[in-house]
Structure 1
């Protein structure tokens, strides 16, 4: 019973590997999904990049930094 399960899992992994390598055709995510959006943009030169203010930057999470400490008040339990 377990041998059949292992054999089935190995075959499924080989099929998934072959599909990821493109044996059955191109992967749907390989190309541009919606290339017509670039052609439909109206006045793309109007877009501007603005630096963030200090107030906006304070609200952003720091990736890879320590987790913020939750403001929880704790006290000893009465016995």
Structure 2
């Protein structure tokens, strides 16, 4: 990794742990993982998304909308 990885992050335990982990699995050594065996997970807002997020999103929307309807009738 270069010195600018996660450059927008404050230096702290979380940043150091992520950088150390990535370095340990990408460089030859005991924790090395071949590129073909690596899996990446991307996060856009602090929660991990499932591969097909539509069903959970629809469930959430329907619950919120039904609650809003109940509140407007009360």
Q: Which has the higher contact order (CA 8 A, sep 6+)?
A: 2
Structures share fold, TM-score greater than 0.5: no
TM-score range with shorter-chain normalisation?
under 0.3
Whose Rg is larger? 1
